[in-house]
């Protein structure tokens, strides 16, 4: 990111009694966001496993993915510390408030990222660790700077977000197959309406931070909700492919069809009505529930 700290100084540091504490470092890692990556890594590992699941391998893969995810999020906060200070929802993070210094966040992020890559390299295989490297580099050095330059950042950002299932798959298979790419496609398409919805709610803050995202440029919300609807519709048939490829059975097919129809229906409602923040927030929460249920059913109905 372009960090003109001298022109856009951070707010004066507040004396926090817990400065430098473990909780501040934990906040750098964005645990909830990392949890999503770990769960989708688990999905990839489980779906890629043969008749017997190798539990030690599955656990070490999740540990490596978690460490890499923690490191990526810490480094992202290091890179975006100036813009975080401009947005209400991020201005209380450790770096804008001065609870941690940039050098601390940088060192912490590098250590965790390298640790995650090494865990995957030594305990799984080189392809899996390479995928972790690709995730880190695209997230930090492509998506993050693109947020200040182009609305296409949303599409680009969905790429590193969709790689965790590939990491899980290659950890047990050692190679990428069509089935793995279907899992990637499901998560890629799911992220787009998911992020567009919460992005609409946060559009004023993104504008204040200088992010030219679609939600900022779209004054009436029609373009944003149109894309939410289109991506929701595109997601539906892709989620049915696992059953067609005999990865899952008829139970998953039926539930995925129902879930996809409901999500697309909600997207249609958003597009046809005057979009409200409350409706967009509910859609965002719906996408989280959708992914959780879809994942559980997919794993439960694995063939």
pLDDT band at 5 (very low <50, low <70, confident <90, very high): very low
Residue 120 has what pLDDT?
98
**Same domain, yes or no: 207 and 261:** yes
Residue 21 has what pLDDT?
85
Q: What is the chain's mean pLDDT, rounded?
A: 92
**Same domain, yes or no: 163 and 184:** no
**Same domain, yes or no: 90 and 226:** no
**Same domain, yes or no: 253 and 118:** no
Nearest in space to 143 (alpha carbons), one of 85, 217, 86, 213: 213
Residue pLDDT, tens place only, 187-200:
999 999 999 999 99
Q: For position 187, which CATH number holds?
A: 1.20.120
| Residue whose structure tokens are 């947005």 | 87
From residue 123, alpha-carbon distances to 52, 86, 93, 159 in Å are: 18, 41, 34, 25
SS (H, E, C) the chain: CCCCCCCCCCCCCCCCCCCCCHHHHHHHCCHHHHHHHHHHHHHHHHHHCCCCCCHHHHHHHHHHHHHHHHHHHHHHHHHCHHHHCCCCCCCCCHHHHCCCCHHHHHHHHHHHHHHHHHHHHHHCCHHHHHHHHHHHHHHHHHHHHHCCCCCCHHHHHHHHHHCHHHHHHHHHHCCCCHHHHHHHHHHHHHHHHHHHHHHHHCHHHHHHHCCCCHHHHCCCCHHHHHHHHHHHHHHHHHHHHHHHCCCECHHHHHHHHHHHHHHHHHHHHHHHCCCCHHHHHHHHHHHHHHHHHHHHHHHHCEC
Kindly state the percentage of the chain with pLDDT values over 90. Answer: 83
Q: Answer whether residue 47 shows pLDDT above 70.
A: yes
283 close to 266: Cβ distance less than 8 angstroms: yes
Residue 89 has what pLDDT?
87
Q: Answer whether residue 137 shows pLDDT above 90.
A: yes
Residue 20 has what pLDDT?
47
| Choice between 161 and 218, residue whose per-residue pLDDT is larger | 161
Burial class (CB in 10 A: 0-12, 13-18, 19+), 54: middle
Q: Answer whether residue 46 shows pLDDT above 90.
A: yes
Residue pLDDT, tens place only, 198-252:
999 999 999 988 898 888 888 888 999 999 999 999 999 999 999 999 999 999 9
User: How many structural domains comprise the chain?
Assistant: 2
Q: Answer whether residue 103 shows pLDDT above 80.
A: yes
Q: Answer whether residue 4 shows pLDDT above 70.
A: no
pLDDT band at 63 (very low <50, low <70, confident <90, very high): very high
Whether the full predicted model's pTM is greater than 0.75, yes or no, is: yes
Domain contains 5: no
Lowest mean pLDDT among 11-20, 67-76, 175-184: 11-20
User: Which of 176, 203, 231 marks a domain boundary?
Assistant: 176
Report the distance separating Cα 148 and Cα 176, nearest Å. 33
**Same domain, yes or no: 241 and 291:** yes
Domain contains 10: no
**Same domain, yes or no: 161 and 101:** yes
Domain contains 135: yes
pLDDT band at 11 (very low <50, low <70, confident <90, very high): very low
Q: For position 156, which CATH number holds?
A: 1.10.357.140
Residue 6 has what pLDDT?
36
Residue 9 has what pLDDT?
40
**Same domain, yes or no: 157 and 281:** no
Domain contains 6: no
Mean pLDDT, rounded, for 4-24: 51
Residue 262 has what pLDDT?
98
Domain contains 4: no
User: Which of 176, 199, 219 marks a domain boundary?
Assistant: 176
Q: Answer whether residue 69 shows pLDDT above 60.
A: yes
**Same domain, yes or no: 83 and 188:** no
130 close to 117: Cβ distance less than 8 angstroms: no
Residue pLDDT, tens place only, 270-297:
999 988 999 999 999 999 999 999 999 9
**Same domain, yes or no: 102 and 136:** yes
- Domain hosting 98: range is 16-176
User: Which of 159, 176, 193 marks a domain boundary?
Assistant: 176
**Same domain, yes or no: 152 and 208:** no
Mean pLDDT, rounded, for 179-188: 98
Report the distance separating Cα 19 and Cα 24, nearest Å. 7
Domain contains 8: no
């Amino acid at each position: 990111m372009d960090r003109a700290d001298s022109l856009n100084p951070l707010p004066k540091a507040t004396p926090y009694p817990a400065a430098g504490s473990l909780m501040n470092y934990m906040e750098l890692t964005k645990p909830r966001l990392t949890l999503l990556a770990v769960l989708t890594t688990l999905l990839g590992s489980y779906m890629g496993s043969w008749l017997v699941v190798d539990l030690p391998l599955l656990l070490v893969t999740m540990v490596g993915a978690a460490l890499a995810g923690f490191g990526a999020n810490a480094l992202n906060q290091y890179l975006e510390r100036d813009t975080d200070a401009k947005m209400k929802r991020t201005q209380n993070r450790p770096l804008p408030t001065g609870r941690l210094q940039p050098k601390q966040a940088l060192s912490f992020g590098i250590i965790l990222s390298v640790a995650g890559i090494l865990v995957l390299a030594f305990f799984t295989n080189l392809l899996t660790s390479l995928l972790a490297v690709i995730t880190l580099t695209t997230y930090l050095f492509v998506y993050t700077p693109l947020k200040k330059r182009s609305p296409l950042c949303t599409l680009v950002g969905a790429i590193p977000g969709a790689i965790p299932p590939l990491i899980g798959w290659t950890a047990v298979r050692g190679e990428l197959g069509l089935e793995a790419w279907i899992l990637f496609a499901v998560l890629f398409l799911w992220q787009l309406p998911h992020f567009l919805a919460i992005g609409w709610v946060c559009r004023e803050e993104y504008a204040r931070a200088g992010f030219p995202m679609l939600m900022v440029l779209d004054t009436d919300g029609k373009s944003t909700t149109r894309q939410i609807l289109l991506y929701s519709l595109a997601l539906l048939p892709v989620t049915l492919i696992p059953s067609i490829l005999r990865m899952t059975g008829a139970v998953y097919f039926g539930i995925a069809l129902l879930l996809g129809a409901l999500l697309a229906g909600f997207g249609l409602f958003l597009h046809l009505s005057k979009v409200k923040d409350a409706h967009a927030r509910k859609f965002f929460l719906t996408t989280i529930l959708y992914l959780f249920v879809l994942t559980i059913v997919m794993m439960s109905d694995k063939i």
